[in-house]
Amino acid sequence: MPEMSEDDLAAVSMLRSSVMRLSRRLRHQRVEESLSPTEMSVLGTLAHCGRATPGELARKEHVQPPSMTRIIAMLEVKGLVRREPHPEDRRQVVVSSTEQAEAILQESRRRRNAWLAELASGLTEEEWAAIRNAAPVLEKLAHL
């Protein structure tokens, strides 16, 4: 880790703490209570990246392949994903989300965005400007 000033270390600590707290609060704005946060994350990854093999999903979600196989099976039983033969490798399958999953994700995003917008409505214009400037940087950090 590069040498950081005391101010930088304090900022990192504040960022970690606030992101975790905000994330927990956002999770409470769930649409589909029967889905675990991990299942929602897998559906979100499929929505963002498109069809994927179970191995690709496991890597993107930072879980072991056997765990991803179980998650996919649970989502398939719930009608939220479908498995199809891999177009080039018959030993594999590709997983894609269903229309039902996409509707759940869309409503979840709508609800969470509305909650966050309501929460942020009390910010000053300067604070909003800081958020607009920070959002792309936070997005980059989330995908490194």
pLDDT at 1: 63
- Give every CB contact of residue 60 below 8 A, 6+ residues apart in sequence: 45, 49, 52
pLDDT band, residue 91 (cuts 50/70/90): confident
Q: What domain count does the chain have? A: 1
Domain housing 47:
32-115
64 belongs to a structural domain: yes
Average pLDDT over residues 40-49: 93
Question: Which CATH number does the domain housing residue 82 bear?
Answer: 1.10.10.10
Q: Which helix (H) or strand (E) holds 31?
A: none
144 belongs to a structural domain: no
142 belongs to a structural domain: no
User: Residue 71: is its pLDDT beyond 90?
Assistant: yes
pLDDT band, residue 142 (cuts 50/70/90): confident
pTM, full prediction: 0.77
